[in-house]
Amino acid sequence: MKKVNQRRNFLKQSGLIGAASLVGLPAMAFSGNANRKSLPYVNFTRDGLDFSTEDYAKRLVEITKAKWIAIDSYSNGGVVAELEKKMANALGKEAAVYMPTGTMANHVAIRKLAGDKPRVLVQAESHIYNDSGDTAQVLSNLNLVPINPGNTQFTLEDVKEQANRVDNGRVKTGIGVISIESPVRRKNNEVFDYAEMKNISAYAKENGIGMHLDGARLFNVPAHTGKTVKEYAELFDTVYISIYKDFNAASGAILAGSTEFCKDLYHTRRMFGGSQPNAWPFAAVANEYIDSFPADYQKSLEKAEELFNSLNAGYKLKKIDNGSNVMKLHVLNADPRETQLALLEKNIKLNNPTKDFKGFYFKINPSILRVELKQLVKYFTEATK
Amino acid sequence: MKKVNQRRNFLKQSGLIGAASLVGLPAMAFSGNANRKSLPYVNFTRDGLDFSTEDYAKRLVEITKAKWIAIDSYSNGGVVAELEKKMANALGKEAAVYMPTGTMANHVAIRKLAGDKPRVLVQAESHIYNDSGDTAQVLSNLNLVPINPGNTQFTLEDVKEQANRVDNGRVKTGIGVISIESPVRRKNNEVFDYAEMKNISAYAKENGIGMHLDGARLFNVPAHTGKTVKEYAELFDTVYISIYKDFNAASGAILAGSTEFCKDLYHTRRMFGGSQPNAWPFAAVANEYIDSFPADYQKSLEKAEELFNSLNAGYKLKKIDNGSNVMKLHVLNADPRETQLALLEKNIKLNNPTKDFKGFYFKINPSILRVELKQLVKYFTEATK
């Protein structure tokens, strides 16, 4: 208990927690932006590096000093066009269009793919169904049909069942789009089954149904499934990728597809109010990480597994079935809250303990590469004492 | 002619123009980001300082070093909340909500104010009518009625005429909103008449019609009309202000109104796909300029008038009736293109010559404060020789 109080006092003195926060730590306590600058910052809470405002600004200076960063005009041209090209290439798509958010990228894709067939099949647990304020329904008059509540997966049979319902309706309508999110954020980043995706994609093609992939975190998947981002992307007409998550931009998204699909799509973006006058402060940062992310993430994944598997004494690592960058870290003996506080002193950020089990859900990202394995083992070992 | 060729050669060697550009200068030649760093940069083309990517990045470092910049979460809280508060105060409104673009700010305001009365009166020359892709019509099923084509102004009589048309329709409908843009970009930033605005506002209040002000550049107006931004804002339920134009943010907008109006409006923003994960790289910059802009702009205006009125030999300054930060600079003897090139060598940027008269439309902004009047007089005088 003495040690516990010492930890709390340390954090109080560092300004990391206030007197009022002995029950729950305020969000700010977990920001990477505090008086721990002497130690490298590792987070197990985000998809990316979690830059502080100051570090992000410094990064922009480095980037603009290293080479000429051409300004965009209303999110067209310049370094934004570079990003679009880079991402299209990475995905094996002909073209790509910058979007300010994933919500808009998903909506614009589905809206255009749907054409005059207003039914859109989506996972009941998807972002577009739960976390977009019914945007496609309210603003584009589409009917989003939620499939298989509680689950990441659905099957070709589910699709056929919906097609059957459409065929039996008294007024002719149609399924315009099948949208698949993978990984699924609401399901701890579980990945949609590739073989089933392929079946569904083939059926969609035969039946003139558009296929959209909400792949905000798609670049996390290959290290877990052995399938490349291109293999996933080719099953879909359109793919949304976040540049905020894996690629450390403060905001931003990419919608990739055919040249035909992407042509003039910036007009739709502007109609939605999504053509920021300048998006270069986001695009320029993302461009720095897209090429290196796959290898960095692979290394990070291996390092995390090595770390947590070598901590037999106090922890137990458990993977999620069909999982990706989220895993479970069971804390065997210590109080997880104390473990969290102890690691925070070392500038290592964990989520708040979960109620699902004694321990943490954690995320793997390249910030783990900033500290040597031996050192991490030491920190984690000490944090359960 | 020899001097002309020297100028062109200088620009070619500086990489400012390519061999192919002897007819028209490419946009890049006019960027502030070139090999002229030894001279301060003055632009007569923008509402703001026109930062290069490198200078913007440096500015962010200065700002984040000078004080703690709290990160926002999906455009809520942190330095974005500071911006909202600062702008609400400046306008005399209870509250304000950050928006990614003016297009979205105008749309969201009109959509909510309209309620169940779908007719919206707008200037035929307004941004919302011409440059927003019919967003309010397409996405919100509103009927935007364009008033008084070709003109900045409309009158209470115009409003009453529209009200009369509504009253005589067979199906009951209603005017939900009157939206006024001032200054009007498509009319060289002419200002809407204050007295008429007041009449219209009083009528709207009596008749339960919402009033929206597209005041993207509202902060330019007081120096020209003697009315404060608060005097304008109080005639309206909602006011949109750009932070990209006068306040040098790379992107961003503010929608101000009552506490009741702004409450939970971030959900609508998110539905539209407008809640960027982080907007701090924009808000933090705007916050640096909002307080100082009115005085800086007043000084800039006086300096510009003094400059151009003292250049009797080669130029003639003409103001626009009901104008604001756009004026006309007639070039009396020289070829305006050569004048433009000569000034570019001094890191002074003018628009391309207009076809309306022999000379330039120019914009006044605080970048003029970077160079002494005497020096500017010298540059402009030499540029017609």
Give the Cα separation of B385 and B382 in Å (integer). Answer: 5
Asked whether residue A64 is assigned to any structural domain, the reply reads: no
Are A145 and A137 within 8 A, CB to CB? no
The ranges of chain B with pLDDT < 50 are 1-2, 4-5, 8-34
Are B106 and B240 within 8 A, CB to CB? yes
The answer on B283 and B140 residing in a single domain is yes
Smallest CA–CA separation between B278 and chain A, in Å? 5
Alpha helices in A68-125 (DSSP H): 78-91, 102-114
Asked whether residue A62 is assigned to any structural domain, the reply reads: no
- Chain B residues within an 8 Å CB radius of A279: 251
Residue B64 is nearest to which of A57, A278, A281, comparing CB atoms? A57
The answer on B268 and B313 residing in a single domain is no
Q: What is the pLDDT at residue B126?
A: 98
Smallest CA–CA separation between A242 and chain B, in Å? 11
Residue A138 is nearest to which of B31, B244, B271, comparing CB atoms? B271
- Chain A residues within an 8 Å CB radius of B61: 54, 57-58, 60-61
Contact B70 A64 (CB under 8 A): no
Smallest CA–CA separation between B382 and chain A, in Å? 31
The answer on A93 and A20 residing in a single domain is no
The answer on A36 and A77 residing in a single domain is no
- Chain A residues within an 8 Å CB radius of B104: 272-274
Smallest CA–CA separation between B18 and chain A, in Å? 17
pLDDT digit string, tens, across residues A69-118: 999 999 999 999 999 999 999 999 999 999 999 999 999 999 999 999 99
Contact B276 A107 (CB under 8 A): no
Contact A54 B65 (CB under 8 A): yes
CATH number, domain containing residue A163: 3.40.640.10
The answer on B329 and B255 residing in a single domain is no
Give the Cα separation of B112 and B87 in Å (integer). Answer: 20
Residue of B nearest to A64 (CA): B54
Smallest CA–CA separation between B253 and chain A, in Å? 10
Q: Counting one residue from A and one from B, how many pairs have CB atoms under 8 Å apart?
A: 163
- Both tokens of B309, joined, read 């009125």
Burial of residue A189 (CB within 10 Å: 0-12, 13-18, 19+) is buried
Residue where a domain stops, chosen among A287, A303, A331: A287
Alpha helices in chain B (DSSP H): 2-13, 53-66, 78-91, 102-114, 127-130, 135-140, 156-167, 194-206, 222-225, 229-233, 259-262, 265-271, 280-287, 293-309, 336-345, 373-382
Task: Tell me the pairing of strands B95-99 and B253-257.
Answer: antiparallel
Residue A278 is nearest to which of B102, B250, B275, comparing CB atoms? B250
The answer on B307 and B260 residing in a single domain is no
The answer on A153 and A22 residing in a single domain is no
- Chain B residues within an 8 Å CB radius of A137: none
- Eight-state DSSP code of residue B199: H
Query: For A42, phi and psi rounded to 5 degrees?
Result: -120, 130
Give the Cα separation of B364 and B301 in Å (integer). Answer: 6
Three-state DSSP class for A141? Answer: coil
Contact B101 A33 (CB under 8 A): no
CATH number, domain containing residue B312: 3.90.1150.10
Q: What is the pLDDT at residue A313?
A: 77
Are A99 and A84 within 8 A, CB to CB? no
The answer on B349 and B226 residing in a single domain is no
Contact A135 B279 (CB under 8 A): no
Residue where a domain stops, chosen among B253, B287, B321: B287
pLDDT, tens digit only, all 385 positions of chain A: 445 445 544 444 443 433 333 333 333 444 444 456 689 999 999 999 999 999 999 999 999 999 999 999 999 999 999 999 999 999 999 999 999 999 999 999 999 999 999 999 999 999 999 999 999 999 999 999 999 999 999 999 999 999 999 999 999 999 999 999 999 999 999 999 999 999 999 999 999 999 999 999 999 999 999 999 999 999 999 999 999 999 999 999 999 999 999 999 999 999 999 999 999 999 999 999 999 999 999 999 999 999 998 887 789 999 999 999 999 999 998 999 999 999 999 999 999 999 999 999 999 999 999 999 999 999 999 999 8
How many CB atoms sit inside 10 A of residue B215's CB? 27
Q: Choose the mutation target among B16, B53, B55, B69 for the interface with A, i.e. most A CBs under 10 Å.
A: B53
Residue of A nearest to B135 (CA): A271
Asked whether residue B62 is assigned to any structural domain, the reply reads: no
In A256-291, which positions are buried (b, 16+ CB within 10 angstroms) versus exposed (e)?
bbeeebbeebbebbbbbbbbbbbbbbbbbbbbbbbe
Residue of A nearest to B71 (CA): A53
Give the Cα separation of B251 and B103 in Å (integer). Answer: 12
Q: Choose the mutation target among A28, A131, A278 for the interface with B, i.e. most B CBs under 10 Å.
A: A278
Residue where a domain stops, chosen among B233, B260, B287: B287
- Chain A residues within an 8 Å CB radius of B69: 53-54
Burial of residue B166 (CB within 10 Å: 0-12, 13-18, 19+) is middle
Q: Choose the mutation target among B243, B251, B275 for the interface with A, i.e. most A CBs under 10 Å.
A: B251
Asked whether residue A78 is assigned to any structural domain, the reply reads: yes
- The dihedral sign for the CA sequence A318, A323, A327, A328: negative
Contact A100 B54 (CB under 8 A): no
- Both tokens of B222, joined, read 């007081």
Smallest CA–CA separation between B65 and chain A, in Å? 7
* Selection from B308, B372, B315 nearest residue B339 by Cα: B315
* Selection from A49, A286, A279, A266 nearest residue B53 by Cα: A279
- Residue A113: which domain range? 69-287
Smallest CA–CA separation between A240 and chain B, in Å? 13
The CA–CA distances, whole Å, from A61 to A3, A277, B50 equal 42, 20, 17
Asked whether residue A63 is assigned to any structural domain, the reply reads: no
Smallest CA–CA separation between B312 and chain A, in Å? 36
Asked whether residue A361 is assigned to any structural domain, the reply reads: yes
Residue of A nearest to B267 (CA): A133
- Both tokens of B163, joined, read 């009200």
Within 13 Å and on the Cβ side, how many CA atoms surround B43?
15
Beta bridge partners of A211: A178
The answer on B216 and B136 residing in a single domain is yes
Give the Cα separation of A197 and A181 in Å (integer). Answer: 11
Contact B244 A277 (CB under 8 A): yes
The answer on B130 and B239 residing in a single domain is yes
Q: What is the pLDDT at residue A6?
A: 52
In B221-244, which positions are buried (b, 16+ CB within 10 angstroms) versus exposed (e)?
bbbbbeeebebbbebbbbbbbbbb
How many CB atoms sit inside 10 A of residue B39's CB? 14
The answer on B297 and B274 residing in a single domain is no
Residue B54 is nearest to which of A65, A251, A271, comparing CB atoms? A65
Q: Choose the mutation target among A71, A74, A285 for the interface with B, i.e. most B CBs under 10 Å.
A: A71
- Eight-state DSSP code of residue A367: G
- Chain A residues within an 8 Å CB radius of B100: 100, 273-274, 276
Q: What is the pLDDT at residue B37?
A: 63
Say which amino acid occupies A378. K
The CA–CA distances, whole Å, from A28 to A5, A25, A266, B70, B346 equal 20, 8, 37, 9, 47
Asked whether residue B63 is assigned to any structural domain, the reply reads: no
Q: How many domains does chain A have?
A: 2
Asked whether residue A163 is assigned to any structural domain, the reply reads: yes
- Chain B residues within an 8 Å CB radius of A127: none
- Both tokens of B30, joined, read 């006019």
Contact A133 B268 (CB under 8 A): yes
Contact A273 B105 (CB under 8 A): yes
The answer on B192 and B340 residing in a single domain is no
